[in-house]
Structure 1
């Protein structure tokens, strides 16, 4: 986590307005977004229009102004959740991951600490 990062790291806490935080960064700023599934959870629990927010974020991510790295979790490889909120989250996270993967230059799936190049 944060304790391993050197003093050169700037941490921006953007639990809801991630798109706005990314837009406000200067050009050529390296970015590590950690993570999309937590950001999505925040919007779902706040009962926001998360489809709209995902489209807004994907639009900003499609125009990176430096090296941007985005972390997300794969949530669709397990069993189908037994409650409606968990199913909505799984489906929304899958759609968000697809949106971001479509615009990304490279997509890696990490399995047991090993990278599997998907794209």
Structure 2
């Protein structure tokens, strides 16, 4: 069984940079499994900045929906999945069964040969969203993070650029 790590934190907490360092420490070249889609200029700019920061040590595998298939297809090198929260929003807007997709992802982890590091957003520490769609998404993300955190070997919280291990190996 390959090592699996979940890194969570708020927006701009440093979780992606931490995940990149951790993934590269597990082997090179690494695979960046990108779940984001450039739906507007601001998102296209974010994607371009992430790509420029990563450099040549990375191969990119873009997959907005088929995360399990992408992990199977890239199971020969360390992978960084960035990010679970965007994957969830893609599933939600595609009207896919997100609970079944998350269950399949968690079931897949013990079968993988190469390590995988997941980045996800911690959405439950803020205020309660004012509309039903935002509350539903916050709840989906929280349940997914709980399920994935239980399935992963390690869980890290990143705050102000500082990592805190909250589930050590075997924990």
Distance 1:62 1:89 in 2: 27
Q: TM-score with structure 2 length normalisation?
A: 0.66
Instruction: Please list the CA deviations of residues 62-103 of structure 1 after superposition, one character each: whole Å capped at 9, or x if unmatched.
Output: 433122111000001111111111111111101110111111
- 1:77 and 1:64 map into 2 onto residues whose CA distance is 32
Which residue of 2 is the match for residue 17 of structure 1?
Answer: 66
Aligned length: 118
1:24-103 to structure 2, matched below 5 A, reads: 24-27=73-76, 29-103=77-151
Greater relative contact order structure (CA < 8 Å, 6+ sep): 2
Instruction: Answer with 60-69 or 30-39: which moved more.
Output: 60-69
**Which runs of 5 or more residues in structure 1 are unaligned?**
none
What is the CA RMSD across the aligned residues, in angstroms? 1.2
More strand by share: 2
CA distance in structure 1 between the aligned counterparts of 2:165 and 2:57, rounded to whole angstroms: 29
TM-score, reference length from structure 1: 0.92
Whole-angstrom distance in 1 between the partners of 2:158 and 2:115: 19
1:3, 1:44 → 2: CA distance?
29
